[in-house]
Every structure is written in C-alpha cells, then in structure tokens.
Structure 1
Amino acid sequence: MKALHRRTLAQAIQLSLLLGLPLAATAQDAPAPGATTLDTVTVTGSRIKKADLETQVPVQTLTREDIERTGLTSIGEIVQNLTGSGSALNTKFNSSGNFGFSPNGDGVGAGSAQVDLRNLGPKRVLVLVDGMRWVNESSASGVSAAVDLNTIPLALVERIDVLEDGASSIYGSDAIAGVVNIITRRNFEGGQVTLNHGQYSEGDGDINGADLAWGMNTDRSNLFLSLSYTEQDEVRASDRDISAIPIQGGSSRVPGGRFAFVDDAGNVYDLTTNPGLNNPVYTPGLPDCDSGVARTDDFHCFDFATDAFNYAPYNLVITPSKRAGVFGQYRFRINDGLGFYAKALFNRRESTNQAAPEPIDLGPGAGTTYGSDVFIPANHPFNPFGIDLVGGNDGNILTIRRRPLEGGPRIFEQQVDTQYIAAGLEGSFGGDKTFFWDVNAAWSKNEADQTNRGSYNSRNIALALGDPAVCAATPGCTPLDIFGFGTMTPAMLEWISPVFRDRSEQELTQFTANLSGDIVEMPAGPLSFATGFEYRKYEGAYNPDPQTVRGEYNGVPSLPTAGSYHVNELFVELNVPLMRDSAFGKSLDLSLAGRYSDYSTFGGEFTPKYGLRWQVADELLFRATYAEGFRAPSIGELFGSQSRFDALITDPCLVPPTAPPGSVAPIACPGVPVGAQQTDPQISVLTGGNPALEPERARSFSAGMVFSPGFASGASWSERLDFEVTFYRHNLEGAIQAIDAQTQLNLCAQTNSPQYCTGITRLPSGEIDEFANFLINLGSIKTDGWDADIFWTLPETSFGQFKLSWQNTIVTRYEARGAAGQLQPQGVGVVVNDSAIPEWTSNAVFGWKMDNWFASWTVRHISDMEEACLAADPAIFCTTPTTNKIDAITYNDAQVGYKFNWMKGLEIAVGVNNMFSKDPPVCTSCSLNGYEASTYDIPDGQFWYVRADLRF
C-alpha cells in the first residue's frame, strides 16, 4: 500500500513538472503583457483562466439582482431555495435540547444555515469564497464537517456560483455533490446603504437589516468595505396551529411526575399525581395498576393517552438571531503583470434555541450514573410513599420521571465569532502566450460559545433527593421535592440548576500556488492548462462544560473532542481542443484533470475527471463529464467523543404507548416481557467518531445540452431563448454515517443477529437501556436525475421588457444501503429523519422592467411525498394507519419596485413571499413543529418585506 502511495505521488509530481518546466523556459523570452491580462477570470469548476468563458460543466449563477428578488437576508436561505438543493439546517430548526447531538458525530449546528446539493448532505458540498475554502462551522456542540453560511454576510456578495457536479479533481475533498463559490464585490465605486424590514402576516418573526458598502477604484487599485447587521425575531410554536400540539402524542415526562416502582409486597405501581396537587398524599396498600381498580388517594395510574405532556408550545418555529459583520478587501496592481491583494472579515452571530423544561429521569436507563443509581430514603422529607426508593438494575425503581415547569424552558444561547484573513500575489507573463500565476495564503477561525440555562446537574439532584443528613452537611444543598405539581422552590432550583457553558472552535490554514495558460497552439486551438499545489491544515476542538465532562449534566451527555490533520495536494488540468469549424460542428474540446491528495490521517488519494464539450453549431451545445471524487473524514467524525441524540423510534419489541389494553408487540424479542409497553416515542441513541474511518469515494457523471434556437433570437416575439437539459448521476461508496437507528432496531428484532443487536441493551422492563450507533463507512448512496431549464427574454416594447426563468429538478433515483446491503429508508418522494427528497421541484420567475419600474413573480413547486405514520392518532393525521401522504404545494412570491433618480439612485422594493399563505403539509415523523422545516415555508407564513437601497 505504501509503495502504491509513493508511486502515485511520484507520477503526480512528474506530470506537474512535465507541464510546468517548459512553461518557465518559454516565459523567459517573452515581453511583458498588457495591463488587461490580469482581468481574466476563473470559471467555477475550472482552474484554467481565460478571457472568454467557455464552461465544460453547467454552473448556475445567482446575480445580485437574483438575490435581491428573493427578499431573503441569508445566503443559506437563498441557496436552499434552489431546485437542486436538499434538506439542510436553517433558522427554522430549533436544534439544541431537542435533537441532542447529530448522529454524524459532529454536534448540532444550532443557529446555522447549511447547503445540501443533490440530497447528499451538507458535508459533501464544498463552500468557497473567491475560490478559497471557507472554514467549517462551530456552534459549541461539536466539530462539524459542514459550513455555516450565516458566517458570511450577504452585503459582501457580488454573485453566487453553484456547480452541481463532482469536482474533487479541481478542488479536492468535499466537492462530491458540488461547489458553492461565493464571489465578493470588488470593482465598486461610491457608496450604498441598504435597509430591510420584513414581518410575517401574524405580526411576528420581524427581520430588520442594514448594509453599508463603499468602494473606490483607481488606475491601479480597488478598495471595497462593507458593514452589515441583520436581526431576526422569533416565531413561537404556540402561535401556529400546526406546531402547537405534538402530533406524536406528547411526552411521558409529565409536570406532576411519573413514579413507577415495586413496593415491599411486590406490587407494581405506575403512578402520576392527580392534576394540580403540590402535596399529594399516598395511601399504601391500594390495588396495583394491573388490577384496573381506580385509586382513592392523590395519585392515579399513568395513562399515556390522557397524561402525556404537551411540550410543543415551548418550541420555536423560527429561532431568533443577530448577525453583524465587517469585510474589506484591497487590490493593488504593482505593474502591468503583477498584483497584490488582501482581505479580512469578522462576523458575529448570536442565536437562541429554546426547548420545553428539561425532564428529570431517575432509575434504570436515566442516562447518567447519578440518575440511574439514585437513592430516595423513606425518611426524605418529601417522599410520600413511605419506602426507600432504590435505583440501579437491582433496585425497586422502574422509572421516575418529572418535568419541572417551575424551572422554565431550556434556553441555549450561541455566540459564534468568525475571523478570516487572506493575502496573495497574482501575475502574468509571456508574449503571444500569456501565463497566469497566483500565490495565496488564508487563515480562518470559527469560535463558538453556548450558554445553557434551564438544565440540571444530576449529581446535585441525587444529593438533594438522598440522605437528608448528607444534604444538610453539603454547602448549598436543599432537599428536593419532585412529588407533585409546582413543588420546586427557588432555593431548590438554585441548587440543581447551574448555568452550563460549552465551547467549540475550528481553524483552517491554507496555502495555494497556481499556474495557468496555453502550452502550444494546436490545429483546433491552444492547448490550455492549469497546475498547482495546495496545503491545508484543519484543527478543531469541542470542550463541554466541566460539569458535563464529570458526568453531572442531566441532559445530553458528551465528552471533549480535539484533533487536527493536514493535507498536501498537487493538481493538473488540461483543455484539449480536438476540432474547430469542421463538418462535425463548430468545436470539440476535451478536458482532463487529476489531483493527488496526501492526508496525514489516511494516506494518498488520486481523483481524475474527464469532460467533453461539443459545440455542434452556434445554437446547439452538448457536454458531458465523468469524475471520481472523495471526502476525507472530518475531525468530528474521526475523533468525536461519545455523545447522544434523541430519535423518534418505534420499538417493534414493545407495545405502542397508545395501543389498547391487552395488545402485544409486533415482534416477540428475547428478554422482553410479553405485553411490555414503550413508554415514550423518543429513544436515546449513543453516537460518536471512529478513528478507523476511510474516506468516502464517489463517481459522478453528467451529460446535457444547451439549445438556443436562432429563430428565437432577435425575433419580434423573442430576443433570446435558451433550453438546458442535464442528466446527473452520483454513486457514493463507503459513506460515513451510522446505520439508520430505526432500521438497525428493526433488523435486530427480526434477526436477533449480533451484527445489528450489538450495542442495544434492555432493562428488565423490556425498554431500551442503551443504544450504540457509531459511525462506520456505511454501504452506498446512489442518486440520479434531471435538470431542465428554460430562459426566455422577450423584446422590449412600450409595455416594458419581460423575462422568464423556469428551472426544474427531477430526482429519478435515490438509494442508500447499509454495509450489509440493507436498504435505508431514504428515497425519492419520501420524508424521513427530518429530511425530504421530492421527486420534482420547480422554480419559475417572471420578471418585468419598464423605465424605472420593475417587478417579479416567482412560483415555487414541491411535488407530493409520503412518510411513515408516527402520529398518536393516525385517523386524524395520516392517510392510512401506517403511512401519510404529504401533498404537493405551490408557493407564490411577488415583488414590485421603483428606482428614483436621486443621487446615484434610490431603489424601493416591496414584496411578499408565500402570497397565498399556504400552510406546509403535516409531517408526523418530523421531530418538531409538525412539518419539514428545511423544505417548506413556516405555517401561516405570508411574509411581507420592504427594501430601500440608496447609492451615492
């Protein structure tokens, strides 16, 4: 293996030298080029610089005008609206405290906005800023493999290029599904002030923003500066009908407490306090809960259907956030063939998540050692049962659960600081053949702090519930009353509810050197090339609160994570002209690219790419690409410590909590008592990194055409008409992820095989005690589909000028399989695990301009889907008892504006998104708020906004 590693590296170096050495010799005899040579551009998807853009691959470009038409204030929200985008985090995900830790072992990006292309996941999309990699996110809960687009202010954006094709040979790791390249504003003259205000029709979710941009240009220099501030208010789940109730049936962790235990006579009780009582009286000796006889004291037997807690109103449909950023870049042309640039950014994001009051679980399976082994003596001043309550697997506690509303909701506040500094030299040399070079260095860092209020210290809970003498001897300890409603005093809460502070950071240091130009003139044109070297170092760390590290945190446990790795890379790219102006067409070009990457964690990887571009005529273009790619395991995936996430899972070995009395489980499992009930739809799943992970490897293919009919150019009815059709296919092997938890549990129940059951342990009651679900190189993901777009510009008339842009993505296959070939639940037209893969998504934009007026109408369509029915009452929420159809939906957005001839222009635009206030379809399997938040607009979501833009 090492010999192959060295041989591949030597071949890559030889290839680079063979291309590079003749160039240096040619350049020594060449006169200096003209001043305009530094103005050539780099196309996203290619490293070859050319003055005229000719792309081998389809690149979707969002101009500044396109961005402003959306009425949105976040790059993430804008990119997530593209038809080729999949489900990804945004501010509609109320993450912390509900999702726990990501099953990818990289934490939860609370408050972040990510981008997913081709439904392959945000970590398989490479995000660039001016062609350089952007640092991965930090949100104080782990070391993520994805970029938070909320760390990049919208004010600095000139355009956004989106390449939905494999590009590892051009850009290296992560570019499996595609590339998002954010191009910053550069040649900007004068000043610009932009003010934004928006609000939902329900009178909430206000968004206010202010951007200031200023630039100046001289014959030899460019300076651009921007300041930006955006503030988004929350939208509460309680203020929307769809999110005000838990469709899955609520939680068994109730405000009055749930107390399941075995008394000294061997009777089994599963009790909860009668409504409203804060000092309940217990009568020993009454019949146990299996008798069916009603109790006559202040407790009754717990019934999930009637006692379950409605946690939904405490959640948020939109999480509040504030973003402030400053950006500047300076470019100076030293002479006609040499330039220098420097740029810097600082951005701060402050965001908040909120969850229902944190439950306290005691007894077996509580999640912490202190909670599992709790001991509540009979002489405790608040123990109403008159017997010792003993935890552990040999104790008499089956489960004790109490959700103290007195402590208020859990609040998670994030502060994320992003720093970015870059500098470089760029130049050109040569005569008839001009060569371009650039040397770049960049350093970037994300630092995140998260403050958690409303959570509990399980060690202090155990002390406050334990021996009163020990508590009295412990400074600050106050005996705790968990038996009844509203029993916790401020003194009790002060002892058990400290503030938890977590911190994470990621750092990226990178250096690149590139050379590009034409090697030799061939019969069909110049043979062009690009070659270069790239070095990157990644560093990341997650440091939870010391109380959490000591195992005292009552919520989701986690341990510190830290790691680093570096990579050296060489790449070569060629554009070979095969034919010009022949009987076979206008031109035929072949592109070849290869990159060798040497990682400190796993060794070397070589990725090639091949492309063909055939210009049949001025009207017709065909193009195709084949690429091999890879994604290196991230710091969190390699070194991530054991943590936990809470998943909605149906245990096939247990009776559902809403099933009629006397029901039996769908599957009889060893060690599970007959008739044992699943008491809660949420099951805690342990996850974590794996240092033995290998890189993911992918093969991508695309083929398409562009047709611009001549009869539609310059005609009375059409100024220009373009049709674009592209077929894509991605095959990913060794995908880094854990097997879907529901799938693993089903297979364990069906086969009882150690392959699936290892890591799943159960309590004597039959309920799951521990569920280990760690990362592996899992099977494969295969997806393919079509993009079909139409762009039509009509001639300008006395009624103005109209434009139509209609873009469509059709997913024809999405198949994910586990390491043993087991089919995962994700698929086309399916919603699962808070993500959706629609078969058809479509965006149509109708634009109009006349004199100083402008307007647009946007239609967004999402096809119907289905999901597994997890509703507590399928008759109300589901199409069938087992499945639920999620209807297709079409959104309409409109904007109108006017440009006043004042100073350099004052532009006022007013718009509305989701004009007809379409509610999202109900999702019974989604974790929160009753709908799929990364695909649909919020409920009652008519959003009005106004934008004022003054240039001076």
Structure 2
Amino acid sequence: MNAPRRRPLVAALCLALATPVLLAPVAAFAAPAGQDAGATPTTLDSVQVTGTRIRKAEVESQVPVHSLSREDIDRSGLTSVGDVLQELTGAGSALNTKFNSSGNFGFSPNGDGVGAGSAQVDLRHLGAKRVLVLVDGMRWVNESSASGVGATTDLNTIPLAIVERIDVLEDGASSLYGSDAIAGVVNIITRRDFDGAQLSLSLGEYGGGDGRQTGLDFAWGYNTDRSNLFIGLSHVDQDGILASTREQSRWPVPGTGLALGSSGTPHGRFIFTDPATGVTHDITPNDGAGSPVFDRNQAGCERSDDYHCFGGADRFNFATYNMLLTPSERTGAFGQYRFHFNDRLQGYAKVLFNRRESVNQAAPEPIFLGPDAGTGNPLADAITISAANPYNPFGFDLVSVDDPATPENEANLVMVGRRPVEGGARVFEQQVDTTYFGAGLEGTFDAGMRTWFWDLNLASSRNEAEQANYGSYNILNIATALGDPAACAATPGCVPLDVFGGPGSITPEMLAWIQPVVRDRSEQRLDQFTANVSGDIAELWAGPLSFAGGVEHRRYEGWYRPDPLTVAGHYNGVPSLPTSGEYDVNEAYIEFNVPLLGEGFFGKSLDLSLAGRYSDYSTFGSQFTPKYGLRWQVADELLLRATYAEGFRASSIGELYGSASRADLQLIDPCLVGVDGSAPDGDPGNCAALGVPAGAVQTNPQISVTTGGNEELQPETVRSFTAGLVFSPAFASNVRWSERLDLELTFYRHSLQGAVQAIDAQTQLNLCVDTLDPLYCDGITRSSVGSINGFNNRLTNLGSIRTDGWDADVSWSLPETGLGRFRLAWQNTFVTRYEAVGAAGQVQPRRIGIEVNDSAIPDWTSNAMLDWRRGAWNASWTVRHVSELEELCGDAVGFPVCSNPDEGTHTLDAITYHDLQLGYRFEVLRGLQLTAGANNLFDEDPPLCLSCSLNGYDASTYDIPGGRYFYLRADLRF
C-alpha cells in the first residue's frame, strides 16, 4: 500500500519543532567565554520522568507511575523482566515460560503468531499488544515468534541484570509516545552511573527438586569527570518441569481421568462403514494385538476378534508430555558509553546482544484421517487407504470421499485416529537473537535568559527467531504410504505404513519416510529517529509555562517463513503460509504545562497539562491524539490529579499481512453429542439445516480455527480517563510512630473501539447454531457426518472493550529504632467493570471474576510487602492475593471436580501466596551480600482450571503448581 502524501501542515509543524533542535548543537558549543570545557557537567542532570516529555530539575508526577527499583527487583527473587511485571496488581494475563506454547497452542487466534518461550506484559486486561515497551525512552523491537510476526514485545530479550529501574505508566499515553500506549507504558531504565564491578551468582529450585534456575551476572562501570562506561553480562539457565511430575497436571482435564483425553491413541481408533454389510464400526484394537485380526461378520460391541468398541478408557492422556515450566537459557551482553564534551553537550552509544534458547514440548503428534478428522487438510480429509496395503486388516479400501468415476467406491471412512508414540514427543526448539544499537546527542542551550534541553536519538534493533520442530509428520508421505503399494514402491524412499497395529507397529524405516524436521523462521526490525526539545517559554503569574516538542520517524519490517513442507500443505500439524510486510511512520508531538494558579486561597498550585501528537502512517493515513490533565496541589499534604486522553493502536505487520494460520481450540459443538455422551443443546431444526444428522457425535473436541490478516484494518481507538489523589498526612510525618505515610487512590477508565480481533470461536459457533445468520456461519463448514471440517474467521475491527477500576496503594515508612527500620508497601487493584462486545452486539465471554481462554480478570488483586533492615541484616515478607474466579465446566460438568454442577460452573478459590527473603551484608572488599528466599512459602497449589487448555491451571494468573521455590543469591562488589 502506498504511503499518503505528506500534508503541508504536518511538514510545517515538524519543521517548527525541529528548528530549535537543529540549532541546539551550535548553541551548545558556543559556551560562554572562560568556561572550562572539562568541568563536571551539571545542567544536563535535569529529570525526565515517564509520563511527560517536559524536563525539569524537579518533577512531581501528574499521572500514576509505579516505579520498581533495583531493590524491588532483587526482592522478588525472579530472573525475568516479564515475571517481575506480571506480579503487578494491575497486570493481566500474558505469556510467560509457564505456557508450553507450541504444538496446537503455537499459533495465535489473532493470526500474528504466539511467541513460544517469550514473556510479555498486559496492563488493565487489555492485552499485551496494547502496552508500549520502552528502553531508556526508546521503543523496543517486537518479538519474532517463529510462528508469525508478533504484535508484542518479548521481555525475555532484555536481560534483567542491566536494569536500574522499571517505570510503569498505567494510563493512556498515545499523545506522548504514539501507537500501542493504550493501556500504559513500560519504560525500562538501564544501569548507567555505576562505579566498580559487581559479580552476582544465583541458584534456585522448586521444592520437588526440579525447575532449577541458575544465574550469573557481571556488571562493571568506570566513571571520570567527563565520561561514563558501563558493561553488563548476563546468563540465566532455567530447567523445565514436566506436567507428569505434579498430580494436578497429569490429566487433560483434572479430575476426569481419560474421559476427556484424545481419540488419537497409540492403538488407533477406526470409524468406518463396511461396504459389504452396511455395519458402522467405531473400534480400537485390544491390548497386545500386534497385528490385529478383524472379523467383518461381527457387529456391535460384543466381539471375539482382536477389536472392541472405542470407549472413554481408550482415550489417550496427552497431558503427561506437556511442560509446566519450559527450559529457557538466556545470554546477554550490554554496553553503554557516555562522553561529556562540555557542560552543555554529551553523546552516548549503546549496544545490546541477547540470545534466548528455549524448548517447548507436546505429546506425540496424532495422525487424524477422514472427514471427521477436522484437520482442514485435504490430504488428510480426502484420503483413500488401499485394501492392498499389507497392514490393512479390514480387507477393503477405506474411502473418505465418493469417487464418481468408480461408483463402487462410495465413501465409507469416517475417521482414523492414530498417535505414533514410536516417533516420540513433539519438541520445539527456539533460538531467538536480539540486537540493538543506539546513539545520540543531548545538550542544553540558552535562549531568552532560559535554559533549553534537547536530544537527538538514532536506534536500530532486530529480533530474529528460528524454530526446529522434531516429531511432526508429512501428511503427503503418509497418504502415499497408506495408498496403493505399487505407487509407494515407485516413489523413492516410500515404505508402506502400518497405522493399524498397536504401539511399535511403526518401524524406524516407516518413520524415516513420514517424519521430517520442520524449520520455521521469522524476523522483525525497527529503525527509529527522534528529536526532542524542552524548556520554559515564559514566566506566567503562577509560574513558568513549560514546553516540550519533537519529531519521530520509525520504520517497521517483518517477515515469517514457514518450512517449505508447511507452505506446500504437506505438514500434518498446524498449517500456515508466509507473511511479509513493512510500513513507516512520521510523527510530531507537542506538550505544555500551564500554571493556572499559584499559592493562595485555592491551595498551593493548579496546573494544566496539554499534549497532542500527529501521526502519519503509510498504511492507513493520519491520526491525531490529544491529552489533557489537571494537577491541583491543594496543600503540602494533598495532591489531586485527573487526565483525559485519546489514543490509538495501529495494526501490526502480522495483523495486516499475516497469511491464514490455524489455532487448534477446545470447542463444544452445540449440534453434536458430547465426547462424554451429553446431549447436544443446539436447536435441532437449525442443526439439521446446517447438515448435522441426528445423533451425530463429536469425536474430537479439538477444532482447527483459521485466522488471517486484513490489510483494510483501521487503528483501534481509545478514550482514557484517570482521576485520583495522593495524601501524605502531616500527623504521620517525622513523628515517633511514623516517618512518612503516603496514601494513593486512582480511578481509571478505558473505552476501546474497533478492537482488532476475530470473534471468539466458541461464541461464533454458538451464534451460528442459534441464528443461522451468515455473519456467523460463513466460514464454518461441515463434513458428511456433521462434524466441523472448516472454521475460518478473519481479523476485523470488532466491537468495543470498556473497563474501569481502582488502584489503592499505601506506603508507610517507620522511624529507625533498636529493632531496626521497617517499611510497608501495599498495592491493590479493583476491577469494577469489563465489557467486551462484538460488532453485532454479542457479548464476549471475558468479564470480571471469570476464567476463560487461559486468562482471568480477578475483581481484586493485592500485593503487600513488609521490609526490615537492621545493621547488616535485611529481610522482607511479601503477600500476594488473587480473588475468587468462576469458569464453565464444559464437558467436565458430569464429574465431581465440577464444583457447581447445577449451574454448570466451577469455582476457582481465592489464593494467597507468601514470599520470604533474608539477607546479610559482609564488609568484604566493597561488600558481599548473601540472600536466601522462598516464594510460595506455604506451598499453595493453584486452583484447578477445567477450561484451561494446558495443564489444568492458568499459567498467567497463578504460580507454578506443587511447590515452594527456594533460591540463594550472592552479590560481590569490588
């Protein structure tokens, strides 16, 4: 798509904002006569905080910003930026290394890929792609998932060892930072002013003796009166934990045994109609029947041959192959150098390289054949298994599609489900490399007796991912090996395939023909340039009128290249096609802080903040986003503030240009008898109109849903409002029982329109059956036996999301006594509304207090921390709470594990985690700090989740099941 012609107004605005910046270097070098060019710089040390572009010597926040210091990070005992951020009370569900996100779970329903092994952050439950991630104020490159072109940032690409602090702005900020800053902004500040060296060693392990995590960090810094140099090296190695090691995760759905397992079994499931007798069989071989004998004269389930009718006890438990914690090894190197040319000009350069090597694992890949397989692959759905196949025990062709040329070959095959355990588990190995280079100049100049600040920044970053998939199959080779033996013999390498015998019937020679190594690659690149200027324009009656402005240019490129086998449609697993795209952005922004009232009858001060950004995209055109804020310092003790902002999120490369990709989802077909024998609840007449025969059974609840990009997508738009107060009472300041007490209360509201998504698949299926409306039914196709064999839903600008709630925080510092110094911090988030509505008014399933689609929106989350220090000792006790949730039991409604069977719902009880840490500092060299800690001290298991697709628990809301996590850390300064 061609870029729109730049508008003259935009060009003029860019020029106006850029002019003082371009003149700044000249003014900076023109230092006053007699000034010492080598003097220690001071004027560049003004503060720029996240949430405003205006630089001041002292800035008090006008917006709610939560800062995590290096001390806060160390206190968590965690080794990932993503894990640290996901423990915030305002964080929602996002990927982390507890998601075994490959196999059928490896492709996003949004068509942009799932970043296997990545860690993301979601704020306000609006999705990780609606959070902007900055590093030192510059955008970080989006992830390459090796399954698409992602729309989010992988925080595992940023080594935790290089982080000085993390600022989290929980407010809309598109006017200041541009697209993606809908739910908030995460700004990661790197270490800079560091003198000497520090070596950190860490070792952690779960109470079950597994999941070991080791870390080695080295930091070195050297400062002179004119320069700063920092180098950081980091290595983290995390072992995996298999689901089979914990009781809760040993079954597909906890508490149901094999009843809801897979019908793709090592022995095989065969559903067909005997063309000679007209009898339909649903059978599986008996245990021990290596080459089973079939007697076609027998009917029903009372058989004397080597088969019996397939039942719940025959289903396959795929859960034992899954992982609760995925292996992840991360190695990073970071360097930053700053040089002060004089007290008005400095330059910097930064470079980073980070490599992540991670592994996901899924059960051996099943082979489903026939119209009821639901794979959407014609090679599998329209297959003929030859009677001449030497291993075919049935004595006739198994045909899934009528052949008009040979009327005697009428379709008789419904489904074959065989899981070749001989080929081992599916193992997905990722290697993700991230490189970043940034350079810039910062300085000051005087104009009109005032000092102005300016900076120029250039950055280029790249994220490359490769994934190797071991244990999948080539469906074309499978079809050839099951077909006419003569055709197989004429094909080099082909050997007839035995899917009819039990485990062990597939030989190494057969595997060599049908089992390839599948390799996928993807890459994203971000190049950006920014120029900013800030200062006081004039002195007004109530204080200085402050200003900031700037221009930005960004260019995004991304591509995804699946294995040629996948592109050709020969991959037995999740199909996908290549994706490629690019676009560029030109922007200009402006911000003012206007003092309205000074100290007087109405309080200490009243300030108005105004900001606006004009964005010009080569994909859809232009967008303007304003922001307005009021800050009223009523008294020294009380601050009131409010903001209103409009924002947007431009569609990502994957959302715009992504080719159709598939997610295999657990769906309940309202027209079919459930896998547990439950009656269908869909309207019988409507089901018949959709081509579903009466009594048809849903043999496989895993349905393939295909989603693809849409170049006509428009930006998502949002309106955000926050209002709150900060109260620091004087009666609690510098008294015997309190050094300082801060109380902060914030109300937030976000109203998102035109959300880019496909309609929830289960909701679409239900609405199709209820209404027969083509809006929902188009794209859903069914086989001759009534099962869904095609489910296509495309991305579009759907409906709206509205959410609001409250943050309530307390910070209390106590005076030092003989017992030491204590500090209490307590953060709470209350979600009071969450409504997601589709384009036609249909309510989406996500809402407050509900668990759905591996994510939850608790109505209350809370973190409380008590910190103690005395001499060389320090300790902390952290309490984390998640309120009660409910979910639908689905097919598990008939089992005792479903706590509310009459309502068809299950309650996930509230849970509270306790973390304890103790440390001691030795006066060795410049200090040796030893720290020991235990997270989840009281060994709380997460509540059972019946609707979660992996491992029986929500990996983004709760700690890993079945154990405390113990760790030791040593930090040596020298």
| Partners of 2:800 and 2:25 in 1: CA distance | 45
Task: Find the partner of 2:298 among 261, 286, 290.
Answer: 286
Is 1:325 the counterpart of 2:332? The answer is yes
Q: Deviations over 1:360-417 (max 9, x none)?
A: 0111234322222222111110100000112336622111110111111000000000
Counterpart residue number, 2:406:
none
Task: Find the partner of 1:426 among 427, 437, 442.
Answer: 442
SS class of match (1:332): strand
Q: Deviations over 1:311-346 (max 9, x none)?
A: 110000000010000000000001111111000000
Counterpart residue number, 1:482:
499
Following TM superposition, by how much is the alpha carbon of 1:13 offset from its aligned partner in structure 2, in angstroms? 4.7
| Partners of 1:442 and 1:502 in 2: CA distance | 27
After superposition, the Cα gap between the structure-2 partners of 1:14 and 1:943, relative to the gap in structure 1 and judged at 3 Å, is same
Task: Find the partner of 2:634 among 586, 596, 616.
Answer: 616
Counterpart residue number, 1:255:
266
Q: Deviations over 1:479-529 (max 9, x none)?
A: 110002121011111110011100000000000011111111111111111
**Contact 1:5 / 1:604 at 8 angstroms: preserved in 2?**
no
Task: Find the partner of 2:231 among 219, 225, 235.
Answer: 225
Equivalences for residues 545-560 of structure 1 within 5 A: 545-560=563-578
Following TM superposition, by how much is the alpha carbon of 1:285 offset from its aligned partner in structure 2, in angstroms? 2.0
SS class of match (2:604): strand
Counterpart residue number, 2:843:
823
After superposition, the Cα gap between the structure-2 partners of 1:69 and 1:393, relative to the gap in structure 1 and judged at 3 Å, is farther
Q: Deviations over 1:184-213 (max 9, x none)?
A: 000000000000100000000000000000
Q: Which moved more, 1:33-42 or 1:228-237?
A: 33-42
SS class of match (1:50): coil
Q: AA paired with 1:160?
A: I
Counterpart residue number, 1:391:
400
CA RMSD of aligned residues (A): 1.9
Task: Find the partner of 1:370 among 376, 379, 387.
Answer: 379
Counterpart residue number, 1:654:
672
SS class of match (1:95): coil
After superposition, the Cα gap between the structure-2 partners of 1:26 and 1:360, relative to the gap in structure 1 and judged at 3 Å, is closer
| Partners of 1:910 and 1:779 in 2: CA distance | 49
**Contact 2:682 / 2:769 at 8 angstroms: preserved in 1?**
no
Counterpart residue number, 2:407:
none
Task: Find the partner of 1:95 among 89, 92, 101.
Answer: 101
| Partners of 1:777 and 1:788 in 2: CA distance | 34
After superposition, the Cα gap between the structure-2 partners of 1:24 and 1:907, relative to the gap in structure 1 and judged at 3 Å, is closer
Counterpart residue number, 2:460:
443
**Contact 2:4 / 2:621 at 8 angstroms: preserved in 1?**
no
**Contact 2:263 / 2:700 at 8 angstroms: preserved in 1?**
yes
Q: AA paired with 2:912?
A: T
Counterpart residue number, 1:729:
749
**Contact 1:923 / 1:930 at 8 angstroms: preserved in 2?**
yes
Counterpart residue number, 1:747:
767
Following TM superposition, by how much is the alpha carbon of 1:295 offset from its aligned partner in structure 2, in angstroms? 1.8
After superposition, the Cα gap between the structure-2 partners of 1:336 and 1:27, relative to the gap in structure 1 and judged at 3 Å, is closer
Counterpart residue number, 1:938:
960
Counterpart residue number, 1:360:
367
Task: Find the partner of 1:603 among 615, 618, 621.
Answer: 621
SS class of match (2:486): helix
After superposition, the Cα gap between the structure-2 partners of 1:343 and 1:10, relative to the gap in structure 1 and judged at 3 Å, is closer
Following TM superposition, by how much is the alpha carbon of 1:433 offset from its aligned partner in structure 2, in angstroms? 1.0
Equivalences for residues 522-921 of structure 1 within 5 A: 522-659=540-677, 663-668=679-684, 669=687, 670=689, 671-872=691-892, 874-881=894-901, 882-921=904-943
| Partners of 1:191 and 1:22 in 2: CA distance | 39
| Partners of 2:667 and 2:508 in 1: CA distance | 36
Task: Find the partner of 1:301 among 309, 312, 317.
Answer: 309
SS class of match (1:461): helix
| Partners of 1:921 and 1:839 in 2: CA distance | 16
Q: Deviations over 1:159-200 (max 9, x none)?
A: 000000000000000000000000000000000000010000
> Any runs of at least 4 consecutive aligned residues in structure 1 with deviations exceeding 6 A, and if so which?
2-5, 17-30
| Partners of 2:473 and 2:275 in 1: CA distance | 31
Following TM superposition, by how much is the alpha carbon of 1:873 offset from its aligned partner in structure 2, in angstroms? 5.5
Q: Which moved more, 1:234-243 or 1:870-879?
A: 870-879
Counterpart residue number, 1:465:
482
Q: Which moved more, 1:819-828 or 1:15-24?
A: 15-24
Unmatched tracts of structure 1, length 5 or more: none
Task: Find the partner of 1:204 among 194, 201, 210.
Answer: 210
Is 1:57 the counterpart of 2:85? The answer is no
Following TM superposition, by how much is the alpha carbon of 1:26 offset from its aligned partner in structure 2, in angstroms? 10
Equivalences for residues 144-163 of structure 1 within 5 A: 144-163=150-169
**Contact 1:665 / 1:674 at 8 angstroms: preserved in 2?**
no
Following TM superposition, by how much is the alpha carbon of 1:264 offset from its aligned partner in structure 2, in angstroms? 1.3
| Partners of 1:221 and 1:21 in 2: CA distance | 24
| Partners of 1:692 and 1:346 in 2: CA distance | 36
Q: Which moved more, 1:274-283 or 1:312-321?
A: 274-283
**Contact 2:301 / 2:308 at 8 angstroms: preserved in 1?**
no
Following TM superposition, by how much is the alpha carbon of 1:4 offset from its aligned partner in structure 2, in angstroms? 12
| Partners of 2:635 and 2:24 in 1: CA distance | 33
**Contact 2:18 / 2:550 at 8 angstroms: preserved in 1?**
no
Q: Which moved more, 1:324-333 or 1:478-487?
A: 478-487
Q: Percent identity?
A: 64
SS class of match (2:251): coil
Counterpart residue number, 1:9:
10
| Partners of 2:897 and 2:490 in 1: CA distance | 54
| Partners of 1:19 and 1:342 in 2: CA distance | 23
Q: Which moved more, 1:248-257 or 1:86-95?
A: 248-257
Q: AA paired with 2:905?
A: T
Q: AA paired with 1:281?
A: V
| Partners of 1:754 and 1:224 in 2: CA distance | 61
After superposition, the Cα gap between the structure-2 partners of 1:256 and 1:890, relative to the gap in structure 1 and judged at 3 Å, is same
Q: AA paired with 2:292?
A: P
Q: Which moved more, 1:637-646 or 1:97-106?
A: 97-106
Following TM superposition, by how much is the alpha carbon of 1:271 offset from its aligned partner in structure 2, in angstroms? 1.4
Counterpart residue number, 1:237:
243
Is 1:947 the counterpart of 2:956? The answer is no
After superposition, the Cα gap between the structure-2 partners of 1:85 and 1:284, relative to the gap in structure 1 and judged at 3 Å, is same
SS class of match (1:471): helix
Task: Find the partner of 1:173 among 172, 179, 183.
Answer: 179
SS class of match (2:147): coil
Q: AA paired with 1:803?
A: R
| Partners of 1:121 and 1:645 in 2: CA distance | 18
Query: Under a length normalisation based on structure 2, what TM-score does the superposition of the two structures give?
Result: 0.95
Task: Find the partner of 2:319 among 289, 312, 333.
Answer: 312
Q: AA paired with 2:267?
A: G
| Partners of 2:925 and 2:31 in 1: CA distance | 47
After superposition, the Cα gap between the structure-2 partners of 1:24 and 1:524, relative to the gap in structure 1 and judged at 3 Å, is farther
| Partners of 2:6 and 2:626 in 1: CA distance | 16
After superposition, the Cα gap between the structure-2 partners of 1:809 and 1:678, relative to the gap in structure 1 and judged at 3 Å, is same
Query: Under a length normalisation based on structure 1, what TM-score does the superposition of the two structures give?
Result: 0.97
Q: AA paired with 1:637?
A: E
**Contact 1:23 / 1:519 at 8 angstroms: preserved in 2?**
no
SS class of match (1:39): coil
SS class of match (1:875): coil
Following TM superposition, by how much is the alpha carbon of 1:135 offset from its aligned partner in structure 2, in angstroms? 0.3
**Contact 1:12 / 1:596 at 8 angstroms: preserved in 2?**
no
